[in-house]
Amino acid sequence: ISHTEKKEFRAETRKLLDIVAKSIYTDKEVFVRELISNCSDALEKQRYSEIAGKATSGNTGGLFINITTNEKERTLTIFDSGIGMTRDEVTDNLGTIAKSGSQEFMKNLQGGAQVDGQALDSIIGQFGVGFYSTFIVADSVEVFTKSGLEGGAKGVRWVSDGSGDYEVSTVENLDFERGTKIVLKLKPESREFSRESEVEKIVKKFSLFINYPIKLNGQLVNNLQAIWYREKRDVTEDEYERFFEHLGNTKVPYKFKLHYSTDVPLTIKAVFYVPSTHQEKMGMTQETPNLHLYCRKVLIKEGATELLPSYLRFIKGVVDCEDLPLNISRETYQDSALISKLRNVITRRVLKMLEDEIKRDSDRYDNWFETFNHFLKEGLMMDSENKESLLRLMRYSATFKEKGFISLDEYVKKMKAGQQKIYYVTAQTREGAINNPFMEPFKNSEDAPPVLILTNNIDEVCFNQIGEYKGHKFVNIETSYDEISKDLGVQQPSSTDSANSLPEEDVTTFSLWLKSELGSSVGKVSISKRLKDQPAIIFGQMSSSMRMVMQMMEQQQG
Ligand code: ADP
Ligand code: MG
């Protein structure tokens, strides 16, 4: 009989710390994010404990974070007036790798994360490794802390050089009543983190929206609020504007906005802005995606391209997803299926916002569309899943509307009795379109079907790809001569027509002569009765605008 033993893994702490410190995080600077996140958690716990009557606010000057840099001493100090730690908690939480006191705190609250209607919703910590990222940049990490929960508890000092052991002692005279102060003695090669400007940059990048005031050498760093966490009705227009200015780095006001939050299928809090101008002129530049991914107010990814399809790259804003399955470094996420779900939800919602704007004020939308149409048309080509809603967002010129745009639905409403197809003409200008020789049969009578006037080359490419709208085929009046003659009931020529027509044999002779003169540059020559003002027209598979697109492409390649 074999003797079974149950044993625990032993860990070589020195090595483990090294692994944690060096291999989890790709950028050194993230230790600032980790420390501030811990401060935020400690402050949130204090706030919660006060509401729950388990702690008093004491004489501590409120809830805040103070950072000080000292370039000469090569130190960085971070203090928070949060809940602090008792001696036992220090040993448990800082002395045990991968133990998260914060996660435990949340667990203990199970179901009770609300007091007086105040939710405790922004505890960030969960993995129990963030603190050790300090050893990437520091030779020695010294922690002074005093718990707010145990009245009269003594202060505690914890210190380690990250090489496998640490020291804990009780200290009598701390220069604060409650909270935690962490002093990093930076490695020579990491001295940049004792420079104010560098630290300010990092705090602003990752932690700008932390709930509590963060002061750096006495100056307030975070003067913006995470408005996406607030109720719509509590956010003022001025705050929305300021936030957009911050995101877009611009003074040009935004056009539309959407403040959105949902709990199904994911917990998302987001604010989206549609700008009123963009940088993409003549295809020379591309808008840089400006939609940032946050998890509980902490930046996960700037300009996260995976959140929206590329054609919506003009959207600016913030998406905060609490359920984001972050990997341990918090720099990436693990579940790509979840991200694509998130992307689908967001894409649909953004398109719906544009549709809502049409309902609210269609002229205002049209005006925006004029400047941004190429983005949506690109979407029409790429995003078949959202084709229907994109088609509803399209606007075109049409023969029956002198100025301004129409929607495809308006065209369909204007269709003549018996008309099955949507006719369009391409041109550089409206005038050019009206004077196009192929327009003749569409101009002369009240019964003539309406024609869409497309002045953007991409439109025809889109129509070719989509084929139809609500069962109505798109037909280019330049390339479907015979088809249109039939649709419009224009008769084929007959020899016994009016007196000044040519006799049939002359017609044949003329056609043969023309064909032999033009040779292989035309396929066939035939007589038309449809033309009245024009002597002749040339047509083919490709419309004039398509020929232009092809020529431009050839020139670019050549
Ligand atoms: P996590 O934040 O994921 O829990 P960390 O390694 O960052 O992991 O921190 C470990 C634990 O140490 C925290 O869960 C918390 O209990 C404690 N802790 C860290 N920093 C502070 C602080 N500033 N104030 C109070 N407790 C802290
Ligand atoms: Mg942490």
How far apart are the C-alpha atoms of 141 and 137, rounded to whole Å? Answer: 10
How far apart are the C-alpha atoms of 128 and 92, rounded to whole Å? Answer: 11
Q: Which ligand is located closest to the Cα atom of residue 96? A: 1
Q: Which ligand is located closest to the Cα atom of residue 46? A: 1
How far apart are the C-alpha atoms of 423 and 472, rounded to whole Å? Answer: 10
**Confidence at residue 380, expressed as pLDDT on a 0 to 100 scale:** 94
Question: What's the half-sphere exposure (Cβ side, CA atoms, 13 Å) at 213?
Answer: 10
Residue type, 501: S
Confidence of residue 508 (pLDDT cuts 50, 70, 90): confident
How far apart are the C-alpha atoms of 352 and 256, rounded to whole Å? Answer: 12
Which atom of ligand 1 is the closest one to the Cα of 89?
16
Q: Which of 123, 130, 112 is nearest to 45 (CA)?
A: 123
Q: Each residue of 390-422: pLDDT tens digit?
A: 999 999 999 999 999 999 999 999 999 889 999
Q: Which residue has the tokens 């809090």?
A: 269
Above 70 in pLDDT, residue 537? yes
Q: Which residues, including other chains, have CB under 8 Å from residue 124's CB and lie 6 or more apart?
A: 37, 38, 40, 41, 102, 295, 296, 297, 298
Q: Each residue of 519-535: pLDDT tens digit?
A: 887 887 877 767 767 77
**Confidence at residue 286, expressed as pLDDT on a 0 to 100 scale:** 86
Q: Is the ipTM here above 0.95? A: yes
Q: Which of 213, 216, 243 is nearest to 227 (CA)?
A: 243
pTM of the model: 0.85
Average pLDDT of span 149-156:
79
Q: How far is the CA of 396 from the centre of ligand 1 (A)?
A: 58
Confidence of residue 500 (pLDDT cuts 50, 70, 90): low
Are 381 and 463 within 8 A, CB to CB?
no
Q: Whose CA is nearest to atom 2 of ligand 1?
A: 125
What letters, b where the CB count within 10 A reaches 16 and e where it falls short, cover 16-42? ebbebbeebbeebbbbbbbbbbbbbbb
Q: How far is the CA of 42 from the centre of ligand 1 (A)?
A: 8
Q: Which residues, including other chains, have CB under 8 Å from residue 273's CB and lie 6 or more apart?
A: 244, 247, 248, 254, 256, 257, 315, 316, 317
489: region left, alpha or beta (phi > 0 left; psi from -120 to 50 alpha): left
**Confidence at residue 495, expressed as pLDDT on a 0 to 100 scale:** 44
For the residues of 388-442, what is the DSSP string, one character each?
A: HHHHHH--EEETTEEEEEE-HHHHHHHPPTT--SEEEEE-SSHHHHHT-GGGGGG
Best residue for ligand 1 mutational test, from 102, 136, 326 (most atoms within 8 Å of Cβ): 102
**Confidence at residue 121, expressed as pLDDT on a 0 to 100 scale:** 60
Q: Each residue of 345-389: pLDDT tens digit?
A: 999 999 999 999 999 999 999 999 999 999 999 999 999 999 999
Q: Which residues line ligand 1 (CB under 6 A)?
A: 34, 38-39, 42, 80, 82-85, 93-94, 100-103, 125-131, 180
Beta strands in 276-412 (DSSP E): 290-295, 298-301, 316-321, 396-398, 401-406
Q: Which of 211, 196, 36 is nearest to 122 (CA)?
A: 211
Confidence of residue 511 (pLDDT cuts 50, 70, 90): confident
Q: How far is the CA of 254 from the centre of ligand 1 (A)?
A: 40
Q: How far is the CA of 247 from the centre of ligand 2 (A)?
A: 26
Residue 541, phi then psi, degrees to nearest 5: -65, -30
**Confidence at residue 196, expressed as pLDDT on a 0 to 100 scale:** 98
Q: Each residue of 242-261: pLDDT tens digit?
A: 999 999 888 889 999 999 99
**Confidence at residue 297, expressed as pLDDT on a 0 to 100 scale:** 93
Q: Whose CA is nearest to atom 23 of ligand 1?
A: 39
Average pLDDT of span 16-42:
89
Beta strands in 204-357 (DSSP E): 214-216, 219-220, 254-262, 268-275, 290-295, 298-301, 316-321
How far apart are the C-alpha atoms of 350 and 316, rounded to whole Å? Answer: 11
Residue type, 366: D
Q: 475 or 499: which carries more pLDDT confidence? A: 475
CA-angle at 169, arms to 165 and 174, nearest 5°:
125
Average pLDDT of span 138-158:
89
Q: Whose CA is nearest to atom 13 of ligand 1?
A: 101
Which atom of ligand 1 is the closest one to the Cα of 80?
23
Give percent of the chain above pLDDT 90: 57
Residue 502, classed as helix, strand or coil, is: coil
Give percent of the chain above pLDDT 70: 92
Q: How far is the CA of 100 from the centre of ligand 1 (A)?
A: 6
Q: Each residue of 423-466: pLDDT tens digit?
A: 999 998 999 999 888 888 888 778 889 999 998 888 999 999 99
Q: Each residue of 44-103: pLDDT tens digit?
A: 999 988 888 888 888 788 999 999 999 999 999 999 999 999 999 999 999 888 889 998
Q: Each residue of 97-132: pLDDT tens digit?
A: 888 999 888 888 765 555 555 556 678 888 889 999
CB-count burial class (<10 Å; 0-12, 13-18, 19+) for 243: buried
